[in-house]
Structures are given as structure tokens and as C-alpha cells.
Amino acid sequence: MSDAKRPRLGDPHEDACQLAHQLLSQEGVRKLLCPELVEDVLACSVARGVVMYPEPEKKREARAVPVTLTPCPLPASSFRAAEELAADFHALMDKVCCDLAWMREALAKTAAMDLICRKLLEVCEQAYNSETGKEPSGDIRLHIMRNDFMFDLQRDPDLAMVQIELNMMAASFSTHCQDLTEAQRYALTKFLGVLEPNLGCARVATALEAAMPRSPAAEKIAEAMALAHEAYDARWQSIGLPRAVLFVSTEDEKNELDHRKLELAFARKGLLCLRRSLPRLASSALRPLAPAEGRRTSVKKPMALVVEGNYEVAVAYFRSGYWPNHFTDGAWEARAMIERSEAVKCPSAPAQLAGMKKVQQLLCLPTELRRFTGEAAATAVAKTFGRQYDPSEEAAKEAVEAAKAEPGRWVLKPQ
């Protein structure tokens, strides 16, 4: 490219596009693949804690998480669209998790085959009924969601994003992605000058700021936890014990360090954090809870969740409880106890049910989608939906045949 064609003022967005095209070219990738770049990305990733245990018992042998050396360029318009749709997706799924009657009907067949679904519905029946006076819509609700979008590089030259899954619980790698972005930014600032030497290091750094928005995932999740904690404090009188965030994990968690970085973010917000497995929580107890002064409640017998007699749980954050092997030795009793309490659940049992694949398949149907959201929001989110079908239904016959013919283009999911 001649100097006459270069942006005279060094527009960061134009520079970013120029660098992205280099990253997409085989020649550009070939030039970047040098040992020093590999060492920088790996070393910086490890320095920022982008690591996992090879086995849960080998905590002295943490290893780097498999990562890409460079970020994958994608259209800025798609990135901005995903950001703008976040509020619509959250509002949609919040409405779904408040409609237990609809979910009972929607998941009836799934519950007959899926243990987790069946037991979660039972937990909901125990917690939300006329005797307790509890309703999901009356709870303090907190959702930490992750939309999984993909691009069809072969069939869609415009790279429109397609949502293939929406996770309502245990949305992993938020801190790892945040830290990997910074490791890649550091390495690319050094090495992109090899591809575009006329830009100079300063312009490359500025372009990367425009092209690689910083991810405040850990800070934002911690902020949400703090707000949920404050809402609990405002609603309920103290029972004389310190209030804590309960981090529900497994005892043999390989991805523990992703969790720990969130715990550190919680601590920076002044939150006390307990880390416990569901089986270990079986010894927890419920104690009567009274509304704060000036507050009223429709719950007939509000209960505080007390762990080991020492802590009152304000927020229960689940990073386990979605596989059958997570539930052993009284774990389901502990899960039901947490749901019965007034602690803020993330996710609650209804919210976890709302994340079932059957629910997401039903939301692809216009009539079901518009049950929970307005026309404008429904149209906006539906544009991102990937095709989803229930293979057991007659309407999915053509899709099943297409999947048999081209299995590489389809994914078969449980639930």
C-alpha cells in the first residue's frame, strides 16, 4: 500500500481494519508465527493465571489453558450488536424463569428422560408453592449468562452471528478470556509492526485499543454480586451472623483458578466468599428470617441459609450442579435447602431450567418467543437464532434427514 493510500491522521479504526486483514491473510499469519510471539503469549497468559490443573489432585502442576496466539478478527458491527442485545436476552430469560407453569409443561417429556431436569422440577415444587408463599417473581434474581455465537465462514460472507446456545449457569472462562485478551494485546503490540512497519508502535497500540475492547468480566460479575448482596441486606434483618457469598463448586474442579480469580474480584468489592461443594453443604441449616424494618414479604416462613453455624448466605453462586456426578451424598437435599432459603441464587432452579436446550428450542418458535417479550425485542433476538429442532417431533422430520445426510453441519444436544 502506498503512503498516499494510508490514513493520514492514523485513524485507529482504519488502522485496526488494516491489521485485521493482515491477521486474516496466510502471509500475515506466517510472518507472525515466530518462537518469540509464542513464548510471549504463553508466558503472559500464565503470568495472568490463564491456567488449569491437569488433574484436580495435581495442584502444583497447573498448566496453561490451550489458547490462540492471536484473536480472531470479526466484524465490529456483529460485536456491537451482541452487546446491544444483551439486555434483551437477559429480560427474555428472566421472564421465562418466572413462568414455572410454562416450564413444567415445556419440560414434561424432558424430565421423564433427564435426571437433572426432573430433580430441578422437584426442587421448584418444594420451594415455590402455596405453603411457602414463594414465587420466582418475588425473589431477588441474579443472572450471569453467556451467549455462544458462531459465524458460518463458508456459507455467509457477511459473517452474521448465529446463537447456538445460551448458558444460564457455570459460564466458565470469563476471567481467562479477560486475561488472554491482555496477553494477546501485549504480544501483538510488539509484533504487528512486522506486518505494517509504517504504522509504528504507537499507532499499532492505539489501533489495538479500538480493535480489542477491554473485557471487564470479573469486575462486572463482582459488581453484580455486590448489588445482589446489597438487595438481600436491604430486604432481611440480620440473624447475628456474618453474611457471605457462597461459591458452590466441586471438590475436584480442574478449572478452579478461573473461580479463584472471581473470588479475588469479589473480595475487592468487600464481599466475604465461602467455597463449598454441594455434598459438604448437606449439613447446612435453615433459620427463621424476618423482613427488614419497613419491608413486607409474601413469603409465609422466610428462611436464612446458615452454613456450618457460622455464616448466613446472602448470595449462592453455582459453578457446579449441572451434571449427575455433582450430586452425591445428600447433595440434592442441599440444593433444595438453598432454593428454599431467601438467599439470592445464581442461578435459581427456575433459571437453570430456563437454560435447558428444550426451552431454547421452543423459544425459536415465534409464538412462544412473543409470550415473553415484545415485538421489537423478539425480532431482534430471533435474527441471531440458529435453527433448533426436537428430533422427536414430526415437524423436525426434514431436519433429521438433513442431519443424517450432512452430520458435520449439525450438533446433537441432550435435554
pLDDT average, residue stretch 86-101: 97
E-assigned strand segments in 21-137:
51-52, 63-64
If we measure between CA atoms, which residue out of 75, 234, 260, 291 comes closest to residue 176? 260
Q: Is the pLDDT of residue 176 over 60?
A: yes
C-alpha 261/C-alpha 50 separation (Å) is 10
| DSSP-based three-state secondary structure for 149 | strand
Name the band, by pLDDT with cuts 50, 70 and 90, for residue 26. Answer: low
C-alpha 388/C-alpha 371 separation (Å) is 18
Write the CATH number of the domain with boundaries 218-346. Answer: 3.40.50.1760
pLDDT digits (tens, 9 = 90+) for 237-294: 999 999 999 999 998 888 889 999 999 999 999 999 999 999 999 889 999 999 998 8
**Upstream peptide bond of 279 is cis (omega within 30 degrees of 0):** no
If we measure between CA atoms, which residue out of 393, 376, 12, 412 comes closest to residue 209? 12
Contact in structure between 272 and 77 (CB atoms under 8 Å)? no
**Upstream peptide bond of 391 is cis (omega within 30 degrees of 0):** no
Sort 414 into a burial class: Cβ within 10 Å, 0-12 / 13-18 / 19+. exposed
pLDDT digits (tens, 9 = 90+) for 355-396: 999 999 999 999 999 999 999 999 999 999 988 999 888 888
User: Residue 408's pLDDT is what?
Assistant: 86
User: Residue 143's pLDDT is what?
Assistant: 97
pLDDT average, residue stretch 32-59: 85
C-alpha distances in Å from residue 139, one per residue of 101, 188, 319: 17, 46, 20
C-alpha 355/C-alpha 133 separation (Å) is 25
pTM: 0.89
User: Residue 6's pLDDT is what?
Assistant: 43
C-alpha distances in Å from residue 302, one per residue of 30, 133, 312: 63, 9, 13
C-alpha 191/C-alpha 226 separation (Å) is 40
Name the band, by pLDDT with cuts 50, 70 and 90, for residue 195. Answer: low
Average model confidence (pLDDT) across the chain: 89
Count how many residues are written for the chain: 415
Q: Tell which wins on pLDDT, 140 or 403.
A: 140
Residues facing 150 on adjacent strands:
162
All structural domains of the chain with their residue ranges: 10-74+173-215, 75-109+146-169+358-415, 218-346
